[in-house]
Amino acid sequence: MSTLEPIAVRADPPAVLDLPPAHLELTWRPLQLADAPALHTLLQAIEEADAAPQRESYDEVVDLFKGAWKDPHRDSLVGLDADGVPRAYGIVEVRPGDTTTVRAFLRGGVHPQWRGRGLGRAVVTWLEGRGRQKLVEAGKDLPARLAVYVDEAARDQRRLWAAAGFSPVRWYTDMRRDLAVPLPEATPPAGVRVVGWTPELDDAVRVAHNETFSDHWGSEPQTPETWEHDSHFMPSWSFVALTEDDEVAGYLVSGRYEQDWEPLGYTCGYTELLGVRRGWRGTGLASALLRRAMEAYRADGMEYASLGVDTANPSGAHGLYERLGYEATHGQVLYSVEL
């Protein structure tokens, strides 16, 4: 029997969620899809000022509004200056598939010219309050988490979240491998063949992914809707390992993020997801899938293969990537309040 107090007690949500105060000189309202172009411009200014290694495309901004589980009218805000230009924003998201820990993901930012006025603290306060409300609204008496990802090098942002009571709980590293260097020798184990991704295989891959990552910290099941691929998904760079009975033994899903190439200084194919089901771990299948992806990236003129990894991944993925020639480039930190 669970010894947890009800989520409504643990989350302690505010009864009334106030907008940031008027003396901050912005007018606040919820975000809407029509704001996507202006929001993208705001994000570009923030990313440029922070020298962010990864950038958000316009399509990704539009994707922030997609999904039946999202409610921008209640779960977002934007601060407009006297000319109606967005200068700060915040978004809260709770995904529907969480079964072990219900999570409220928070994100927000302030235009660099408007920093130092208390706007960051005000947005964080609103995000935390709405996040606590969302956790209660999810109606799941599970362990709960308020979560925000911050670039490891973004010291000001890290201090802001720490001052609000968030703690660094997980570190993630982005890595790259030079495709000009000879590729590693790696072949699928006997009885397994690697094929290109097809729409017909996609849901079987989702199911395999949910099983594969069930023992990974912070991973929760993907529903068919949250699994839906975005505009950066590259079918021709994605692969599925099938057994003789056509069961999914492993998979690799890739994305193409052209907006990142200029700030990174090189072109790359990005391995979004790599998974091997338990019965096939330790057989070299992960290496074979990575080599197949590297071949596809290189065939399309990419200079590097890139990916991200949880540094405490239980499958030893970090060490595998290093053995295959991947090198760390930058990192992210997950800050959270555990409830």
pLDDT of 125-144, one tens digit each?
Answer: 999 999 999 999 998 889 99
pLDDT of 37 higher than 80 = yes
pTM score: 0.88
Region 259-273 average pLDDT: 94
CA-CA distance, 320 to 275, in Å (whole number)? 13
User: So what's the pLDDT on residue 229?
Assistant: 87
| Tens of pLDDT, residues 156-176 | 999 999 999 999 998 999 999
pLDDT of 312 higher than 90 = no
- What percent of the chain is modeled with pLDDT above 70? 98
pLDDT of 1 higher than 50 = no
Q: Which domains does the chain possess?
A: 7-165 (3.40.630.30), 174-331 (3.40.630.30)
- Neighbouring CB atoms inside 10 A of 277's CB total 18
Q: How confident is the model at residue 316 (pLDDT cuts 50, 70, 90)?
A: low
Q: Looking up tokens 């540094």, which residue turns up?
A: 311
Region 18-36 average pLDDT: 95
User: So what's the pLDDT on residue 322?
Assistant: 86
Q: How confident is the model at residue 271 (pLDDT cuts 50, 70, 90)?
A: very high
CA-CA distance, 45 to 174, in Å (whole number)? 23
- What are residue 105's DSSP bridge partners? 93, 147
Q: Where are the alpha helices (DSSP H) in 138-194?
A: 155-163
CA-CA distance, 147 to 282, in Å (whole number)? 32
User: So what's the pLDDT on residue 55?
Assistant: 92
| Tens of pLDDT, residues 68-122 | 899 999 999 999 999 999 999 999 999 988 888 999 999 999 999 999 999 999 9
Average pLDDT, the chain: 92
Quick one: the chain helix, strand, coil %, rounded to 5? 35, 25, 35
Residues with Cβ within 8 Å of 300's Cβ and at least 6 positions away in sequence, in order, are 236, 237, 269
